[in-house]
Copies of this chain bind each other. A is one copy, B any other.
Amino acid sequence: MKQEVKSRETQELIINKSFDLFYEKGYNATSIPDIMKKTSLSKGAFYHHFKNKHEIGKKVIEVIIRKRIKEGFIVPLSDINNNVPELLLDVFTNRIKNYSEREKALGCPANNLIGEIGYSEEDFRIILKTLIEEWREALIKTIDIGKYRGEINSKVNSSSTAISLICAFEGVRSVRKVYDDDVIFNEFMESMGSFIKNLGIQQVS
């Protein structure tokens, strides 16, 4: 029992530190020795718990990145007392203001990983796709609730709107990475704001 706890703690430490490094340096640029330095553990510890680098990559996506998307973008949508456009405005614009300088400069961990995978690393692609799908489904549900309540125009296509919100958001976090100020975020929030507000009024066919 005591051993089980220790084992889990070690694994979590390795996963967390791996995430930090992948986020800062990228997946390919991070080596196993890099991870071991950060954890103050040995290579023996790593290979006792994980099969190889690919394995820790998968775990980081499945556990850490998934948790971040869930807590940052899916859970906040369940605050259904709030008006739906307000909710979307909050999740996709207001929250940007609270990002740390580090988060602004490093962008979205999921998106960074997507950028790194080419034809290779098919495993990563599939897990990341699942995460995006979970996010998208939650958004569709929220938009549908908005329609039902009359807060969102019934002509709005929930599915395509959901994808556009995700894409625009991932896009701005990516583009922001090349800037060293918040101009891009501020401009984006203005335009995104009117896009979301427009969901409530009559659309062009």
Binding site for B on A (CB under 8 A): 23-26, 28-29, 105-107, 111-120, 125-126, 128-129, 132, 157, 159-161, 163-164, 166-172, 174-175, 177-179, 184, 186-188, 190-192, 194-195, 197-198, 200-201, 203-204
B28, B125, B190, B204: the one contacting A157 at CB < 8 Å is B190
Complex contacts, A191 vs chain B, CB 8 Å? 157, 160-161, 163-164
- B106 touching A118, Cβ below 8 Å: yes
Taking the full assembly, how many copies of this chain does it contain? 2
- A-B interface, 3 closest residue pairs, ranked by CB to CB distance from nearest: A115-B115, A171-B171, A167-B171
16 A-B pairs, CB-CB below 8 angstroms? A26-B28, A26-B115, A29-B118, A107-B115, A115-B174, A115-B177, A125-B178, A126-B178, A157-B190, A160-B186, A163-B191, A164-B168, A171-B172, A171-B174, A195-B198, A198-B198
